């Protein structure tokens, strides 16, 4: 049985969310400070100064936390994994996000006492926007620190490559790579199951002053600069390394992120036209991104999300719809 989950909106320090409202059926879509929807999540959000117990944890339609269901049936839900290794979300930005970086697993284990870093990827759901990704050549830690302490935001943005993005673009962001999502980006983000980051802007573009712990994540300001990977690249190198091309498999199945890119997760796009059956070999999460139909006997439409237990070995689908499906391997 697939577990259908309700929407899980999460507070952030940037504005957005109108496109999420649209796809999840909100009658009057609006821009708020709840611009993210965490799908089948067992990860709590890190919001210093705006703490809400359990924020980010997904529930089933009958009000049960997915985390509790997994804890009660771990082998059925996750196989041999001790905890879910995925965090999948929709993110919709009405303003540029602050410049940030996420730790590698090695850095997270050493300094955050976490078994997971925050390597991630973005699948663009709308038709526009820009993203900043990766250092240009010759950016040193000393120069980056100087810009931070001066809070020279323009110069910091100039240190990063800027790209226009389009619907269907697939972008990989390794731990340690600095980045910022621009305004008007509606994306599906798949990542390791943490909310760890370091931020280099004390004030967001819309004027929110961030507490120090939100910037350095508890590391302290000097240590946070070690989280960044200063191996700069030319623009073409970034494009080739981090902008991914789909691999067409069979039966309406595309591989977007595979083991040749990362060992942290796998992302596929499935296209249903009429009746289709897709084999699965691990637990995962489904997001319906377009259309409607059924999946394993349950009605499904754009914006719906389901958790796939480890014991579920196929997705039997009908209708006309597109789905993003992520797996832990």
pLDDT at 329: 76
- Give the list of residues 6+ apart from residue 64 with CB closer than 8 angstroms, or none: none
Q: Which CATH architecture has domain 247-327?
A: Sandwich (2.60)
Measured in whole angstroms, how far is the alpha carbon of residue 275 from the centre of its chain? 29
Within 13 Å of residue 77, how many CA atoms lie on the same side as its CB? 19
Assigned CATH topology for domain 3-244: Jelly Rolls (2.60.120)
3-state secondary structure 206-275: CCCECCHHHHHCCCCHHHHHHHCCCCCCCHHHHHHHHEECCEECCCCEEEEECCCCCCCCEEEEEEEEEE
| Domain ranges (residues) in the chain | 3-244, 247-327
Percent of the chain beyond pLDDT 90?
A: 98
Nearest to 35 by CA among 48, 44, 22: 22
Which residue pairs from 213-217 have beta carbons closer than 8 angstroms and sit at least 24 positions apart in sequence? 213/48, 214/13, 214/48, 214/49, 217/46, 217/112
List, for residues 191-202, the tens digit of each pLDDT value: 999 999 999 999
Q: What is the CA radius of gyration of the chain?
A: 19
pLDDT tens track for 215-246: 999 999 999 999 999 999 999 999 999 999 99
Residue 127's pLDDT is: 81
Is the overall model pTM greater than 0.85, yes or no?
yes
In this prediction, the residues of the chain whose per-residue pLDDT falls under 50 are none
* pLDDT digit string, tens, across residues 53-84: 999 999 999 999 999 999 999 999 999 999 99
What is the structure's pLDDT at 9?
98
Rounded Cα distance between 4 and 85, Å, is 19
Q: How many CB atoms within 10 Å of residue 239?
A: 15
CB contact at 8 A, 235 and 137: no
pLDDT at 168 (0 to 100) = 97
Q: What's the burial of 297, exposed, middle or buried (CB within 10 Å: 0-12/13-18/19+)?
A: exposed
Which pLDDT value is given to residue 210? 97
């Amino acid at each position: 049985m697939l577990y259908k989950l309700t929407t899980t909106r999460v507070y952030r320090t940037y504005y957005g969310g109108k496109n999420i409202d649209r796809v999840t059926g909100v009658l009057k879509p609006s821009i708020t400070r709840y611009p993210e929807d965490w799908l089948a999540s067992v990860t709590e959000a890190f919001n210093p100064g705006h703490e809400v117990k359990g924020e980010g944890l997904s529930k089933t339609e009958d009000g049960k936390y997915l985390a509790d269901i997994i804890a009660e049936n771990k082998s059925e839900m996750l196989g041999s994994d001790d905890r879910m290794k995925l965090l999948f979300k929709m993110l919709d930005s009405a303003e540029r996000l602050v410049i940030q970086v996420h730790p590698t697993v090695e850095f997270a284990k050493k300094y955050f006492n976490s078994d997971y870093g925050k390597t991630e990827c973005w699948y663009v759901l709308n038709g526009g926007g820009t993203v900043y990704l990766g250092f240009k050549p010759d950016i040193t830690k000393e120069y980056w620190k100087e810009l931070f302490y001066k809070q020279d935001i323009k110069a910091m943005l100039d240190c990063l490559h800027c790209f226009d993005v389009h619907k269907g673009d697939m972008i990989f962001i390794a731990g340690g790579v600095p980045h910022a999502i621009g305004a008007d980006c509606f994306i599906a983000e798949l990542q390791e199951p943490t909310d760890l980051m370091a931020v280099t802007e004390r004030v967001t573009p819309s004027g929110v002053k961030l507490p120090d712990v939100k910037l350095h994540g508890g590391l302290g300001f000097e240590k946070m600069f070690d989280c960044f990977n200063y191996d700069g690249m030319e623009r073409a190198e970034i494009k080739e390394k981090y902008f991914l091309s789909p691999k067409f498999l069979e039966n309406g199945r595309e591989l977007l992120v595979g083991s040749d890119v990362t060992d942290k997760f796998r992302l596929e796009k499935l296209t249903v036209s009429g009746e289709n059956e897709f084999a699965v070999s691990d637990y995962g999460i489904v997001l319906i991104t377009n259309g409607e139909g059924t999946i394993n006997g349950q009605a499904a439409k754009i914006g719906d999300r389901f958790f796939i237990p480890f014991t579920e070995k196929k997705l039997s689908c009908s209708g006309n719809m597109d789905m993003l499906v992520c797996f832990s391997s």
